[in-house]
Every structure is written in structure tokens, then in C-alpha cells.
């Protein structure tokens, strides 16, 4: 029974991590890059504004950081919950 | 040595390399043919996946679409990279744990239904074939340019080369060849961009040069905005299209990325579940190298072209026909004219070629004043921009040869990966999985190769009248994958509630509405003039056919959920299967499903 409880805890921790990551994923691309761009118009970046930078480069850099963070965090979580590949 | 010989040399040498590797790593068994024995390191796998992924659309077409539209086409940049986040978080590790060869095998097993597997195969074929059409367009343009012939003949010759090439290797040959192709294509993309960035901004890193300043101290993007608005075009960095459409388009490309079989298949080939997570990250590292450079390539090329057409500034005289014909700086125009993808015409007979937006009221007034009779750079196919870029910037001949080789590498690697996905869908899932289970390994391999040939023929026939520029055609394929495959995979992992009937209904609904929406706007089977609507005035408000995939995906989720609620619950053993897919422990080597 404890096995199942631990698996459930592992899965909900994973789902929580996914939700947080996806919130950031959406914020930088759909948010800063598109919908919220007018709000960032005041912040100048190299001849244009921050929203343009997020749309063309910034979001890509955040995506990269997110994937590596998730992989690192999950591998740790696997070990903590004893579900890693031995 | 003339440019033609130089191109031939570079393209020939790179091909010799790929074919050499393909022969060295020839697939012997079916398991090697599909999944390379799962002995591929995450970094190697990432590089190969990046090559597989970055196709003619990314390499040849994307920067050109950004160049001529500016900010509004940022969707390509965010969409085609953001999908990897979905892939890494929502699919890759679980599909690796499941441990079968193909996407449709997972769907068939998880939804305990051979109908579900068949439907998945159909969705996969529709998306992949649309994708191959886009690749063949790119192949046609690249071959057309480097052989200096019409793009139509380029397409025919290119398709023969792709076929010969794909048929030799399986995944194993393809994996190592693709590593080589990645190296060729990233070098070919970066080197001219570095040169051009140095010329324009003095910064050797194009991604930084984009936000840098020109010699006069004026930021590059400010200068570009000035020139394009002087010529009556829309401001480069400003948003012009509908926000809703841009969000949906970006989302479609993201979801589609995570639903494309030839990319997902890659994550079956890593040794462990944790490697699948890392592998997605490495793939994006290698993709980002190109994607961070692409917007710089687009903006800088647009500036160079505008300045070439108006060598005396936008208030001075336009370039003369004589100069285009004699000045070596303009030699690229004559070369590209031969492909039928670039054209100019001195409409008012003043011996000059005025390039401006003749739809713009201010410019129409200026034109009337100066006796211009419309834009005289009559044809500039977006897809030629990247390949023509080194010539436009007057870079040395070897750079031009290198870019030709890189463009072909990009188109070939993806075409080969897609053909592999198509052939495994037909031979492994459809024939061996359903129709003739007792098929021998030998006839399975034969069937795989025959289906590759058939796929190429279909792609060439449909590619003769492509529904858009290469990246746009490819975007349609992503919409289809987004609407059909991704939701089924995601629900299969994250919900135990979705059952066999729900999944089948969802996939069919998503695929059918999306296909219908595309055909209504792009013509039935992309046959010209059979469309009822256009993307300039779409059926549903601002939503263009390229953006519909996200809606299709929503339909898929909704239908699957509702239908599952009305039908019999998922059996216990399937719930156990889902539980086991969710935890990495016990992931063995993946096995053939039969």
C-alpha cells in the first residue's frame, strides 16, 4: 500500500512541476511575446522593445532553461521516490 | 573556378559523406531499421533529432518569411521551439518507458483497440505526407538553384535523390548520417550570417547583431523600419496581424511539434527514461543555434535587398536595369531568374527598377508624381532568400557553395526521417500489425521501401501546386499533427478516463475538422481554385488555415472527453498500464509488439 501512496505522491509532484513549468512557458511566449507586448513597450532593447526580443529570441532561451530544469528536477524526484531506473 | 563548379563540389562532397555513413551503418534487421538498437547517446540523439527536425522549412524558408513580414512571423520561432517543452514534459519520458517502436503502437495498446491504432496510422500518414510536400518544395528550389534550372525540374531530380538516399538506410544509417547533416547545415547557416552581421553591425554573433547598431550608430532595426516604411511596406518590428490568430498559430506549431511522429520516434531510441528528458533538451540546444540566428538572417537580408534596389537611398534613383545586368553585385538576380522564382520588369520603361509597395496610398501618390507604374520587382519568392543571401551580401564563392550543401542537407535529412516514419506506419503498423501479421521480416522491409516510393510520388504530384511557401505548407502539416496525434498521446498518459471509443472519436473529429478547414481555404487536395475561402478572408473571423490546428486539438480533447463519459469505463489492466508508464522504474529495452 505504501508503494502506491508513494507512487501517487510522485505523480502529483510531477504534475505540479509540469503545471508550473507550462505556466512559465506560456508567460514568456504567448504573454511577453504576443499578448502582453504592449505593456512591455516602454522597455527598449536594441532599437525595439522587450516584447519583440521575447518573441524572436527570449522565449527560446527560456524554453531551453525550462527543459533542463525539468529534467534535473525529475531525475532528483525519481530517486527521492525510489522510482528511478536502477 | 566558377560558382557552378564550386556548388557542385560542395554538394557532391557532402553527399559522398552521407552516403558513405549510410553504407557503413546499414540496417540489417527490422529492429535496427526502425530504432537503431537503442544505443544512441542523448547528445548524439539530440543532434540527429535536430537535423531531422530542421528541414527545408527551417533552413530555406523560415528566415525569408520573417524577412518579408517582420514581427508577425515570430510565431515560427516560438512555435517550432516551444513544442519541445511540451514534448519533454508531457510525452517523451512516458513514451520511452512504454517501450515500443512507433507512435501508433502506443495508441493501439493504450486504447486497447486496433481501430485506434489504424486511425492513428491514418492521422500520421496525412500529417507526414503534407510535411513531405513542403520538403519537396525546398528540395526543388535548392536543386533548381544549384543546377541552374527551373524549380520544377529541380523537384523531379531532387525527389529521385531523396528516394535513393532514404531507401538505403534505416534509422541507424539515418541517425549517424543526420549527425553529419546537422554539422553541415548549422555551419552553412551560421557562416554567412556571421559575415553579414560583421558587415552591417560589426558584431560577429548574428543573434546579438540583430539588436546592435549600424556603422552610423543607428540601431539596425530602426534603420530597417525606416527603409521599409519609406517604401510603403509595414513597419518591421510592429504587430500588424490579429493577436488571436498569432496566438493560435504559435500554439498550433507548438502542439504539432510534439505530435509529429518522426520527432517522437527519436525518443524511443535513447537507452533510458531519464535520457529521454535530457535528449529533448539537447535537441533544443542544437535547434536554438539556428533559431536564434534566423531572425537576424531575415532582418539583415531585408535591409540588404532594400539597399541593393535603392543604392542611392530611398529618396534617390532606383537601381538601373543596366546595373542589374552588368554589375557583379547583382549577378545573383540573373542566376535566380533562371529558377523562375525571381523576376523584374521595367513597366514604365525608364530603365530603372522601382521596388516599393504599390498597394500603399502614400506610395501610389509618390509613384504618380515620379511616373512609376507599379512595383517592378515583380516576383520574389520568399523561399529563395536564405539560399540567395550570401550572394546578395557578395560573400565569397565557397560560402555560396556551402549554403547550397546546407540547404540540401536540411531538406534531405527531414525528408528521409519522414519517409522512414511513413514506411514504418505502413509496413509495421498497417500491414504487419493489422492486415498480414504473418509477414516475414524480409517482406516487411520490402513493404517499407515500396511505401517510401509511393509517398514520394504522392508528395511530388501534390508539390507541383504547393499550398504556400515551404514553411507554410509545413505549418499545415503541424496543424494536422496537432489536431490528431498530440491530444491522443497526452490523454493516454495523463488520464485513465479516456477510453477506446473516446480516443478514436477524438482523433477522427480533430483530423476531419482541421483537414476540412485547410481544404476549404487551400483547395481540395491543394488543387488550385477549388477553395471556397482564402486566408486573407477566413471562414472563422481572423483564424487562418495554418492556425486551425490548435482549434482542431481542442475539438479532439472535447470530443474524446464527452464520448468517454458516455461509454464503458477503461478496464483495470489499462489503468495499470498507464500507472506503469508514469514511473521510470522497470523500463527495459523496448520490444517489438508482436
Q: With contact defined as beta carbons under 8 Å apart, do B158 and B142 qualify? A: yes
| Number of Cβ atoms within 10 Å of the Cβ of B342 | 19
Query: Residue A40 to residues A45, B93, B120, B158, B580: CA-CA distances in angstroms?
Result: 10, 36, 43, 46, 45
| Burial track B107-146 (b if 16+ CB lie within 10 A, e otherwise) | bbbbbbbeebbbbbbbbbbbbbbbbbbbbbbbbbbbbbbb
Residues from chain B that touch A47, judged by Cβ atoms under 8 A, are 211, 213, 218-223, 225, 237
Q: Is B241 on the interface with A (CB under 8 A)?
A: no
Residues from chain A that touch B280, judged by Cβ atoms under 8 A, are 67, 71
| Number of Cβ atoms within 10 Å of the Cβ of B459 | 28
Quick one: cell of B291?
Answer: 533559431
**For position B37, what pLDDT does the model report?**
46
Selecting from B284, B292, B585 the residue whose C-beta is nearest the C-beta of A84 gives B585
Selecting from A15, A60, A75 the residue whose C-beta is nearest the C-beta of B81 gives A60
Per-residue pLDDT tens, chain B, 594 aa: give them: 788 888 889 988 988 888 788 777 665 555 555 554 456 677 888 888 898 888 888 898 899 999 999 999 999 999 999 999 999 999 999 998 887 777 888 999 999 999 999 999 999 999 999 988 888 888 888 888 878 888 888 888 888 888 877 776 544 556 777 888 899 999 999 999 999 999 999 999 999 999 999 988 899 999 999 999 999 999 999 999 899 999 999 999 999 999 988 788 888 777 788 888 998 999 999 999 999 999 999 999 999 999 999 999 888 899 999 999 999 889 899 988 988 889 999 999 999 999 999 999 999 999 999 999 999 999 999 889 999 998 888 888 889 889 988 888 888 778 877 887 788 788 878 887 777 778 787 888 888 888 888 888 888 888 777 888 888 888 999 999 999 999 999 999 999 999 999 999 999 999 999 999 999 999 888 888 888 898 888 998 899 999 999 999 999 999 999 999 999 999 999 999 999 999 888 776 555 443
Alpha helices (H) in B467-591, listed in sequence order: 470-494, 500-522, 549-566, 572-582
Question: In terms of CA atoms, which chain A residue is nearest residue B583?
Answer: A83
Reduce the DSSP state of residue B219 to 3 states and report it: strand
Closest approach of A50 to chain B, Cα-based (Å): 11
Q: With contact defined as beta carbons under 8 Å apart, do B428 and B451 qualify? A: no
Measure the CA dihedral B123/B124/B129/B130, to 10°: 60
- CB pair distance less than 8 Å for A85 and B579: no
Per DSSP (E only), the strands in B282-427 are: 319-320, 342-343, 352-353, 379-380
**For position B591, what pLDDT does the model report?**
52
Alpha helices (H) in B169-310, listed in sequence order: 171-201, 206-209, 220-230, 243-257, 261-264, 273-291, 294-309
Residues from chain A that touch B272, judged by Cβ atoms under 8 A, are 85
Closest approach of B78 to chain A, Cα-based (Å): 7
- CB pair distance less than 8 Å for A34 and B579: no
Whole-prediction pTM value? Answer: 0.91
Q: Rounded to an integer, what distance in angstroms lies between the CA atom of residue B251 and that of residue B424?
A: 28
Q: What is the DSSP letter of A83?
A: -
**For position B270, what pLDDT does the model report?**
77
- CB pair distance less than 8 Å for B85 and A21: yes
Q: Is B298 on the interface with A (CB under 8 A)?
A: no
Question: In terms of CA atoms, which chain A residue is nearest residue B207?
Answer: A57
Helical axes B3-24 vs B171-201, angle rounded to 10° = 150
Sign of CA dihedral B203, B336, B188, A48: positive
**For position B103, what pLDDT does the model report?**
86
**For position B39, what pLDDT does the model report?**
63
For the range B320-325, what are the long-range contacts, defined as Cβ-Cβ under 8 Å and sequence gap of 24 or more? B320/B351, B320/B352, B320/B353, B321/B346, B321/B351, B321/B352, B321/B353, B322/B351, B324/B353
Q: Rounded to an integer, what distance in angstroms lies between the CA atom of residue B504 and that of residue B112?
A: 11
- CB pair distance less than 8 Å for B211 and A70: no
Name the residue with cell 513493404. B447
Q: Is B228 on the interface with A (CB under 8 A)?
A: no
Q: In the Cβ-directed half-sphere of B525, how many Cα atoms lie within 13 Å?
A: 6
**Nearest partner of B262 among B128, B426, B412, judged by Cα:** B128
Name the residue with cell 522564382. B341
Query: Which residues 328-387 of chain B have a CB within 8 Å of chain A?
Result: none
Residues from chain B that touch A34, judged by Cβ atoms under 8 A, are 243, 246-247, 250
Q: Is A73 on the interface with B (CB under 8 A)?
A: no
Q: Is A7 on the interface with B (CB under 8 A)?
A: yes
- Interface mutation target, options B43, B78, B88, B290, chain A, most CBs of A under 10 Å: B78
Q: Is A22 on the interface with B (CB under 8 A)?
A: yes
What's CA A20's distance to the chain center, in Å? 6
Question: In terms of CA atoms, which chain B residue is nearest residue A24?
Answer: B85
- CB pair distance less than 8 Å for B81 and A59: yes
Q: Is B211 on the interface with A (CB under 8 A)?
A: yes
Q: Rounded to an integer, what distance in angstroms lies between the CA atom of residue B447 and that of residue B33?
A: 13
- CB pair distance less than 8 Å for A59 and B292: no
- CB pair distance less than 8 Å for B585 and A10: no
Q: What distance separates the 2 farthest-apart alpha carbons in chain A?
A: 61
Selecting from A47, A53, A85 the residue whose C-beta is nearest the C-beta of B584 gives A85
Query: Which residues 466-505 of chain B have a CB within 8 Å of chain A?
Result: 494
Selecting from B93, B237, B579 the residue whose C-beta is nearest the C-beta of A48 gives B237
Quick one: cell of B293?
Answer: 540566428
**Nearest partner of B295 among B549, B53, B81, judged by Cα:** B81
Q: Is A40 on the interface with B (CB under 8 A)?
A: no
CATH superfamily of B3-301+398-475: Sodium/glucose cotransporter (1.20.1730.10)
Instruction: Locate the domains of chain B by residue range.
Output: 3-301+398-475, 302-391
Amino acid at each position: 500500500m505504501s508503494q502506491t501512496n508513494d507512487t501517487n505522491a510522485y505523480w502529483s509532484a510531477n504534475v505540479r512541476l509540469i503545471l508550473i513549468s507550462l505556466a512559465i512557458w506560456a508567460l514568456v511566449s504567448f504573454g511577453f511575446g504576443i499578448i502582453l507586448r504592449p505593456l512591455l513597450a516602454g522597455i527598449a532593447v536594441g532599437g525595439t522593445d522587450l516584447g519583440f526580443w521575447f518573441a524572436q529570441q527570449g522565449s527560446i532561451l527560456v524554453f531551453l532553461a525550462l527543459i533542463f530544469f525539468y529534467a534535473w528536477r525529475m531525475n532528483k524526484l525519481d530517486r527521492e521516490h525510489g522510482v528511478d531506473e536502477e | 573556378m566558377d560558382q557552378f563548379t564550386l556548388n557542385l563540389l560542395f554538394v557532391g562532397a557532402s553527399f559522398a559523406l552521407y552516403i558513405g555513413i549510410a553504407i557503413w551503418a546499414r540496417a540489417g534487421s527490422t529492429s535496427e531499421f526502425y530504432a537503431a538498437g537503442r544505443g544512441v547517446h542523448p547528445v548524439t540523439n539530440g543532434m540527429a533529432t535536430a537535423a531531422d527536425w530542421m528541414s527545408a522549412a527551417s533552413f530555406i524558408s523560415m528566415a525569408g518569411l520573417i524577412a518579408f513580414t517582420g514581427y508577425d512571423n515570430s510565431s515560427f520561432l516560438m512555435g517550432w521551439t516551444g513544442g519541445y517543452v511540451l514534448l519533454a514534459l508531457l510525452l517523451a519520458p512516458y513514451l520511452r518507458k512504454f517501450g515500443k517502436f512507433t507512435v501508433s503502437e502506443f495508441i493501439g495498446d493504450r486504447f486497447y483497440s486496433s481501430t485506434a491504432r489504424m486511425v492513428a496510422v491514418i492521422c500520421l500518414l496525412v500529417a507526414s505526407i503534407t510535411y513531405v510536400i513542403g520538403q519537396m518544395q525546398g528540395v526543388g528550389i535548392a536543386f533548381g538553384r544549384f543546377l541552374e534550372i527551373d524549380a520544377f525540374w529541380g523537384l523531379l531530380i531532387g525527389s529521385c535523390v531523396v528516394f535513393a538516399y532514404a531507401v538505403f538506410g534505416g534509422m541507424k544509417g539515418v541517425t549517424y548520417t543526420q549527425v553529419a547533416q546537422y554539422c553541415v547545415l548549422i555551419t552553412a547557416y551560421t557562416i554567412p550570417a556571421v559575415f553579414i552581421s560583421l558587415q552591417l553591425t560589426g558584431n560577429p554573433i548574428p543573434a546579438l547583431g540583430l539588436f546592435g547598431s549600424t556603422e552610423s550608430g543607428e540601431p539596425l532595426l530602426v534603420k530597417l523600419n525606416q527603409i521599409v516604411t519609406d517604401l510603403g511596406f509595414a513597419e518591421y518590428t510592429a504587430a500588424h496581424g490579429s493577436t488571436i490568430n498569432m496566438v493560435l498559430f504559435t500554439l498550433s506549431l507548438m502542439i504539432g511539434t510534439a505530435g509529429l511522429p518522426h520527432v517522437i520516434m527519436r525518443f524511443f531510441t535513447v537507452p533510458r527514461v531519464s535520457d529521454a528528458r535530457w535528449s529533448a533538451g539537447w535537441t533544443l540546444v542544437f535547434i536554438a543555434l539556428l533559431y536564434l540566428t534566423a531572425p537576424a538572417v531575415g532582418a539583415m537580408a531585408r535591409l540588404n535587398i532594400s539597399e541593393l534596389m535603392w543604392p542611392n537611398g530611398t529618396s534617390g534613383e532606383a537601381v538601373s536595369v543596366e546595373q542589374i545586368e552588368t554589375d557583379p553585385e547583382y549577378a545573383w538576380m540573373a542566376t535566380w531568374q533562371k529558377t523562375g522564382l525571381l523576376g523584374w520588369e521595367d513597366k514604365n520603361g525608364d530603365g530603372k527598377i522601382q521596388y516599393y509597395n504599390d498597394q500603399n496610398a502614400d506610395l501610389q501618390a509618390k509613384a504618380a508624381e515620379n511616373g512609376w507604374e507599379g512595383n517592378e520587382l515583380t516576383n520574389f519568392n520568399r523561399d529563395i532568400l536564405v539560399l540567395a543571401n550570401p550572394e546578395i551580401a557578395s560573400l565569397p564563392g565557397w560560402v555560396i557553395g556551402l549554403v547550397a550543401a546546407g540547404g540540401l542537407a536540411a531538406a534531405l535529412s527531414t525528408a528521409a526521417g519522414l519517409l522512414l516514419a511513413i514506411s514504418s506506419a505502413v509496413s509495421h503498423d498497417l500491414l504487419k500489425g493489422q492486415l498480414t501479421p504473418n509477414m516475414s521480416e524480409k517482406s516487411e522491409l520490402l513493404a517499407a521501401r515500396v511505401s517510401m516510393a509511393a509517398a514520394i510520388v504522392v508528395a511530388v504530384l501534390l508539390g507541383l501546386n504547393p499550398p504556400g511557401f515551404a514553411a507554410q505548407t509545413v505549418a499545415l502539416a503541424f496543424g494536422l499533427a496537432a489536431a490528431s496525434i498530440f491530444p491522443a498521446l497526452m490523454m493516454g498518459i495523463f488520464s485513465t478516463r479516456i477510453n477506446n471509443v473516446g480516443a478514436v472519436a477524438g482523433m477522427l473529429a480533430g483530423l476531419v475538422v482541421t483537414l476540412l478547414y485547410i481544404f476549404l481555404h487551400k483547395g481540395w487536395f491543394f488543387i488550385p481554385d477549388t477553395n471556397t475561402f482564402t486566408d486573407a478572408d477566413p471562414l472563422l473571423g481572423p483564424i487562418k488555415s495554418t492556425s486551425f490546428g490548435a482549434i482542431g486539438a481542442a475539438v479532439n480533447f472535447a470530443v474524446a472527453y464527452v464520448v468517454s463519459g458516455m461509454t464503458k469505463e477503461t478496464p483495470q489492466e489499462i489503468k495499470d498500464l498507464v500507472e506503469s508508464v508514469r514511473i521510470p522504474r522497470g523500463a527495459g529495452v523496448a520490444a517489438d509488439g508482436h
